[in-house]
Structure 1
Amino acid sequence: MCREADEFPAFFTPRADDALFIDCGANIGVTMLECKVRWPHAKIICFEPDPFAFASLQRNVDVNDLPGVRCIEAAVSDCDGQATFYGDLAPTADGRGNSLNAGWAERPGSTSRTVACRRLSPLIADQQIDFLKLDIEGSEQAVLQEIAHQLPQIHAIYVEVHETPATLAENSVDAITQQLTAAGFTVDAQQRDYEFALPPHLAQWQATARPTQTQLLCWR
């Protein structure tokens, strides 16, 4: 994401200085910080379930004294409550791929813990959302279905779709693209196939699970 900062989000221009962003899968806040540099008056709601990443996210907001940023320690899902969160969970861990989706996140050496889950629909309510980012490691389709009736209120979306052959029935680029196109978005798909996308210790998992990541840039 840092490598792509010069282009992010090239397909989006906010309607006003106080644009409303929702960042799902905020991690330590790279997207949040980039948005606040570009649009200092933007209001941003960040979701991050990994407790260690969340601590860094909140610290980045605090030490930079950023107004208008709200951080919520929860996974975005299609239901409220609690769920099992899988992945590399430790203060110095590589958290890429941590997910509610066991088919995506259960890997050699992974662990799990219970985290809070939140639906987006009550948060969105009747608000106009300028930009929604979904980078939630395999739960993108479920969340978009949960807010299907509110998609007309959203002006631009970035979705990173995480697929494996075993999880296509519940999370696929084709299904998500069809839903967003039907909701009036223009959708540009870009494959993420970078040599630095995964660390070396996940090479065996990559060969077995055959994961793919596709970026969907969606605008009206």
Structure 2
Amino acid sequence: MNIFKKLSIRAALGLISSEHRELVRLLRANKIMSAGFDTKYGHIAIPVNSRSIIESFLAGEYFGSVALQSFLNHKTKSRRLLNIGANVGTSARMIACSEKYQKIYCFEPDPNNFRLLQANFLNNNAVSLHNVAVGAENGQLSLNLNPLSVGRHSFKTDFGLGAIDVSIVRLDDFIADNEPFDLFMDVEGWEIEVLRGATSSMRNCNLFALEWNGQLHSREERLAMIELVRSAGFTKMSDLNTSEHDLEIDDLEKLSGQRDVVFLRK
């Protein structure tokens, strides 16, 4: 790619915040599906319709770094991490570079995201990649696509823009031993189904972090989430982006927006 085209693409990416839809269409029409960024954690390829990630990188910030660093600051005995809803691997890359875990397992059902995930972890034997979703039952489900944000595909919300069938696995079937692990999850309101398929294995989970989207859940679902978290043995909850480190698990019932939280044991 010549220097003029590189500069043109970067200028276009810089306008994403104001003209996102049209720029995504323009870049895709020119067969530009992803953009590469040199970050403090190495080179990362990002889909052009990953607005929030691109805005962060263009601003010289690493996407999600505050929540990720807060998560990494928590002590744990686990040497392996499960990253469910790994997308293209931005979170997993920062976690892997911390060398806190000997093994990271990434789960990402969308095949396009998964191809970039593979590229971003090429020849990295410490990261194991799985092109599947995680849920309550093994099988197949339709994943609703959000082409304007590849990190917002959803099993719960139908955007009216198509869907693909993806494979589902249960954590209780994937984790066959009693070795402790930590869990980092971003699944757009699907977290209850993930936990329903992990009632046995979650007893070995020391740290459990997720992006909570309370607006995607009914009150009954929020109460079900509270019960699942408590039954797994977690007793405390902290916000990963603020100083609110003393939230109660019962606060999930009233957290209606998006929050990055971590669940802790005593």
By the TM > 0.5 criterion, same fold?
Answer: yes
Cα distance in 2 for residues equivalent to 1:24 and 1:177: 19
Equivalent residue for 2:210?
159
Equivalent residue for 1:216?
261
Q: Could you tell me which of 139, 144, 147 is aligned with 1:86?
A: 144
User: Could you say which structure has the larger radius of gyration?
Assistant: 2
- In structure 2, list runs of 5 or more residues that go unmatched: 1-62, 242-255
Equivalent residue for 1:168?
218
Q: Residue 66 of structure 2 contacts residue 240 of structure 2 at CA under 8 Å; is this kept in 1? A: no
- Residues 15-40 of structure 1: per-residue CA shift (max 9 Å, x gap): 26xx1111100001112111111116
Indicate the SS of the match to 1:59: helix
Cα distance in 1 for residues equivalent to 2:138 and 2:77: 31
- In structure 1, list runs of 5 or more residues that go unmatched: 193-210
Asked if 1:4 is matched to 2:66, the reply is: yes
Identity of aligned residues (%): 24
- Check 1:41–1:162 CA distance in 2 against 1; reply closer, same or farther (3 A cut): closer
Q: Could you tell me which of 59, 83, 93 is aligned with 1:33?
A: 93
Asked if 1:188 is matched to 2:237, the reply is: yes
Q: Residue 76 of structure 1 contacts residue 136 of structure 1 at CA under 8 Å; is this kept in 2? A: no
Q: Residue 118 of structure 2 contacts residue 129 of structure 2 at CA under 8 Å; is this kept in 1? A: yes
Cα distance in 2 for residues equivalent to 1:125 and 1:58: 25
- Residues 165-184 of structure 1: per-residue CA shift (max 9 Å, x gap): 6x416742x43233323432
- Please report the RMSD computed on the Cα atoms of aligned residues, expressed in angstroms: 2.6
State the one-letter code of the partner of 1:81.
Answer: G
Q: Residue 35 of structure 1 contacts residue 42 of structure 1 at CA under 8 Å; is this kept in 2? A: no
State the one-letter code of the partner of 1:72.
Answer: H
TM-aligned CA deviation for residue 163 of structure 1: 3.4
Cα distance in 1 for residues equivalent to 2:66 and 2:74: 14
State the TM-score, normalizing by the size of structure 2: 0.63
Cα distance in 2 for residues equivalent to 1:3 and 1:67: 23
Equivalent residue for 1:202?
none
Cα distance in 2 for residues equivalent to 1:121 and 1:42: 21
Asked if 1:128 is matched to 2:179, the reply is: yes
Q: Residues 51-66 of structure 1 correspond to what in structure 2 (within 5 A)?
A: 51-62=111-122, 65-66=123-124
Cα distance in 2 for residues equivalent to 1:130 and 1:191: 19
How many aligned residue pairs are there?
A: 190
Asked if 1:72 is matched to 2:130, the reply is: yes
Higher helix share: 2
Q: Residue 135 of structure 2 contacts residue 170 of structure 2 at CA under 8 Å; is this kept in 1? A: yes
Cα distance in 1 for residues equivalent to 2:218 and 2:128: 33
State the one-letter code of the partner of 1:79.
Answer: E
Higher relative contact order (CA 8 A, sep 6+): 1
- Check 1:182–1:83 CA distance in 2 against 1; reply closer, same or farther (3 A cut): closer
- Residues 80-115 of structure 1: per-residue CA shift (max 9 Å, x gap): 1211000224xxx421321222xxx322x5321111
Q: Could you tell me which of 103, 107, 113 is aligned with 2:164?
A: 113
- Check 1:51–1:169 CA distance in 2 against 1; reply closer, same or farther (3 A cut): farther
- Check 1:140–1:40 CA distance in 2 against 1; reply closer, same or farther (3 A cut): closer
Cα distance in 1 for residues equivalent to 2:128 and 2:99: 16
Cα distance in 2 for residues equivalent to 1:158 and 1:6: 10
- Check 1:95–1:117 CA distance in 2 against 1; reply closer, same or farther (3 A cut): same
